[in-house]
Structure 1
Amino acid sequence: MAKTPVVDTDLCIGCGSCVEVCPEVFELRDDKAWVIGPDKCDTCNCEEAANICPVEAIKFE
């Protein structure tokens, strides 16, 4: 079963790197990243988006 990305908005600094890697999955809203397409990780590299997050705000459930 695929894991679902989750953004810890308390940690997120709104840098937008996850949006650049996975615009189908993440968007910036009010200077925080939000998961808008949790089932779209097959369209991009969600693992890379999580790995490049400078504050490690993206986890998988």
Structure 2
Amino acid sequence: MIQHHGIGDTSHRSFLLGACAQAAGQSGLPPIAIRAAAVVALCLWLQLTIALYCVAAVAFRLRA
């Protein structure tokens, strides 16, 4: 059995800085839709997507 420590179950939010999960939480879209869009964007625009993902991750961390 997997045990999660801390407040609430945030294990799905911490994978790769949690930018997709945070974006899904704020937009109301399912996390899988945001992650799928991120994968497509990575395939089409690798460097731009990585840069925007990092910016989003930092912005979400600063807001927390």
TM-score range, shorter chain: 0.3 to 0.5
- In our comparison, the structure showing a higher alpha carbon Rg is 2
Q: Higher strand proportion, which one?
A: 1
Using the size of structure 1 for normalisation, the TM-score is: 0.33
Q: Higher helix proportion, which one?
A: 2
